Amino acid sequence: MTYTREADHGTPPAVATCKSVTLTIDGDTVTMPEGTSIMRAASLTGCSIPKLCATDNVESFGSCRLCLVEVEGRNGYPASCTTPIAEGMVVRTQSERLKQLRRGVMELYISDHPLDCLTCPANGDCELQEQAGAVGLRDVRYGYDGATNMGQAKDQSNPYFDFDPSKCIVCSRCVRACDEVQGTFALTIEGRGFDSKVSPSQGQDFLSSECVSCGACVQACPTATLTEKKVVQIGTPDRAVVTTCAYCGVGCTFRAEMRGEELVRMVPWKEGKANHGHSCVKGRFAWGYAQHRDRILKPMIRASVDEPWREVSWEEAIAHTASEFKRIQAQYGTRSIGGITSSRCTNEETFLVQKLIRQGFGNNNVDTCARVCHSPTGYGLKTTFGTSAGTQDFDSVAEADVILVIGANPTDGHPVFASRMKKRLREGAKLIVIDPRRIDLVKSPHVEAAHHLPLRPGTNVAMLTAMAHVIVTENLFDEAFIRNRCDWDEFMDWAAFVAEPSRSPEAIEPLTGVKAEEVRAAARLYATGGNAAIYYGLGVTEHSQGSSTVMAIANLAMATGNVGREGVGVNPLRGQNNVQGACDMGSFPHEFSGYRHVSDDAVRGQFERAWGVTLDAEPGLRIPNMLDAATDGTFKGIFIQGEDILQSDPNTHHVAAGLAAMECVVVQDLFLNETANYAHVFLPGSTFLEKDGTFTNAERRIQRVRKVMAPLNGYGDWEIVQLVAQAMGLGWSYAHPSEIMDEIAALTPTFAGVHYDRLDAEGSLQWPANDAAPDGTPTMHIDGFVRGRGKFVVTDYVPTDEKTGPRFPLLLTTGRILSQYNVGAQTRRTANEAWHPEDRLEIHPADAENRGIKDGDWVSLKSRAGETSLRALITERVAPGVVYTTFHHPDTQANVITTDYSDWATNCPEYKVTAVQVTPSNGPSDWQRDYADQARHSRRIAPLAAAQ
């Protein structure tokens, strides 16, 4: 679309109210909700009142004095941004006196502002420039002699934007955006009067300060004080396309603002229903990987992983792929090949990969990265509630009185949602954090948890059962809800189980390491504090009892009646951008799209009629089973779309052995990732900027992904899968992803009402979206559970088989950090490296001192599965006996350490509990050096082919 700046009505909408107010503005009668500001009311009727300090992303401030109006019957000239409308009010936004006042105010601003508009990067996109014209300023009477704030040094420390205090008008918009929107409180106004200036933290530069580079300040700035470096380099945009971020499961909507075929900036879209105009450092700035020099743009093949890659045409690569898969099946049998779908790709692309495997390969050997993160969510919530997804939308948190966060770190993993959560906490909601680490939410500016339960890794089920013990034995459960909505007999069985003395907080204290009185207080708060919402992440699911923990969470919610309305519920925070969608699309070996089992004759018959083939009724192999079968010699070929299993899956040595045993490994990705070291065919993928489709975020919100630029590799990912299918003899003929979505809607009951025209018109839909729920479903289980009656499940605590002992006395748990994403393939190829250039091992000072380790020292991290080396970070964020690291850098290979223990129901790996020993080291291990050499060797491209 053609570039136009988003409308800014100056102040936020009024708090929802049923009452309306009728007034007159410049002779026109208008009716608006009570509480609306005069400025917003005027803007909504097409009347633009000059403003500088006002913007509708933050609360009104009333400091610039440019938006003065006249109100009949009132003295003076009130600021329209801070004055609410009233019944019968008569407002004039223009008069000779108002013109004089506004010009006088603007003269003062301009007298202390550089007049370099022609060379300023904000020229043509500057509100100060625009408002000077709006008030008719043509001359400045005060001159430019004497003291000014011009000529101050720029702060260019941040890799994405510059701060030029010479152009600052001290409107406080950036400070208020940091406080109100982001909730970091990293900016302040330092000094008074003429000496007032914006300052990050305590006079630090932006990079060194507490600023998290979310971009809220840059977006709020009305001048060129805060300017993105890309705008300086490229110029202002000339068109914009609305699309959806391809990082985490929040699913932020952005305006991709372009100049020709160059992306200038990603601006969070105010109409985005998941993010409401906010963003984080990844979505806002870390998109440069799309044009990174490491990106592979031509298909490549090789006969052996010991040989260099040979660039080939698309025709040869596709024909070779199909030929190899056919050969392997003819030699080893139908079930000797399979594939992995991607949670980074669109719903449409994921659907096509599982269709290729089921229709083209003739088996159900399909799995997805959700296996290694949220498969217990699917199992646990389907068992208890009847659906494999969370119950609420993100907006629901605004109605929560108690927020329980368990096994999640929202400020790092889901920062835009975390900002909204922090806003609700600042408003008075109470917070319970159950996590081995002292995550930022435990205590940060204006936010402090009422209870932090720093349990020992692996004891989630024991902890939740102890909380249930308190709720049952103290009669804090909601009997009416349970009798009306759940199976009472199952509840009684569960209640008798949790009420046993052996499951009291006192009894489990030696297991969890958490004081019994804290557990009791937290349980009472959750049960009696009003609307209580649970948010959880991979610290719940990536355990041998992941499914049990999800069901234990559901038990708590049902027992207290915290399901089926705003402000409550059970809410998994999905890790990657389309984990929910990948699961919805039938990426598991036992399920078609919509979570329907492959053994169901009626469901299978529906797909057979649509696809014109007979489908296998037997579930296929999961990723771990594929690797096991490969080492056993029965699984020989795999198609991997957008997933780096060598870095992301547990027990790296076993993954490598499985891949090495295969005869045809096909990788479809952007870069030669770690898995590609074992690949025989590389099909270059496309980024989210180069494709059309949809993503489904953690709140079941289906949103459009729109092509911003032509694919640099020549094809969208869905087109590549279609070419492979056609070469395999399938008659696919999709012309556009919208046709794939039409097929998804026809075959998937929860998506029956989803079509591109509706998504384009309405912005998004939350499934189920069908005849029963034509407008989608923001809140699930309102009148009853999808399965009928809610099911209480007895969840006995079973200690993990991974034990500490004299050789391995510490427990390792893993997680993410704000600036990096998953295995880092994208973010490591951006300036985000400035914040996290390497994985570090967090270790408590007592454990470090016992081992003679100082901050920054190289240490060896060893488990029963393997060994690696990295630098130590000494911190009290972890408890004694617990160490922590991230997994964003392949140089670390953190998953060399993790074992192949997994969840009893889903095979989700137990990343969060690994017994380890930490000792001083002299640098990277021999294994790491050998691996780096092997990777460099594997990534060679034949000189002749490269030249061609």
pLDDT tens string 865-880: 888 999 999 999 999 9
Interval 134-140 mean pLDDT? 86
Question: What pLDDT does residue 649 have?
Answer: 78
Instruction: Evaluate whether 842 touches 873 at the Cβ level (below 8 Å).
Output: yes
pLDDT tens string 659-705: 999 999 999 999 999 999 999 999 999 999 999 999 999 999 999 99
The pTM assigned to this predicted structure is 0.93
Instruction: Evaluate whether 660 touches 305 at the Cβ level (below 8 Å).
Output: yes
Instruction: Evaluate whether 828 touches 647 at the Cβ level (below 8 Å).
Output: no
Report which of residues 930 and 836 the model is more confident about. 836
Question: What pLDDT does residue 902 have?
Answer: 80
Look up residue 72 and give its two tokens: 């009949």
Interval 269-294 mean pLDDT? 94
Query: Which residue matches tokens 């299918």?
Result: 725
First-to-last CA distance in the chain? 37
Q: How confident is the model at residue 945 (pLDDT cuts 50, 70, 90)?
A: very low
Q: Determine the distance from the C-alpha atom of residue 577 to the mean position of all C-alpha atoms in its chain, rounded to a whole number.
A: 6
* For the chain, counts of helices (H) and of strands (E): 30, 36
Q: How confident is the model at residue 466 (pLDDT cuts 50, 70, 90)?
A: very high
Q: How confident is the model at residue 946 (pLDDT cuts 50, 70, 90)?
A: very low
pLDDT tens string 623-637: 999 999 999 999 999
Instruction: Evaluate whether 880 touches 847 at the Cβ level (below 8 Å).
Output: yes
pLDDT tens string 933-943: 766 766 777 66
Question: What pLDDT does residue 1 have?
Answer: 58
* d(C-alpha 945, C-alpha 400), whole Å: 59
User: DSSP character for 788?
Assistant: B
Strand-pairing partners, residue 239, are: 2, 258
Instruction: Evaluate whether 210 touches 276 at the Cβ level (below 8 Å).
Output: no
* d(C-alpha 733, C-alpha 729), whole Å: 12
Q: How confident is the model at residue 488 (pLDDT cuts 50, 70, 90)?
A: very high
Burial of 614 (0-12, 13-18, 19+ CB in 10 A): exposed
pLDDT at 891 over 90: no
* d(C-alpha 248, C-alpha 285), whole Å: 14
Consecutive H or E run containing 858: strand 858-863
Ranges of beta strands (E only) in 617-749 are: 637-641, 664-669, 681-684, 693-696, 701-705
Beta pairing class for 161-163 and 226-228: antiparallel
Say how many residues make up the chain. Answer: 948
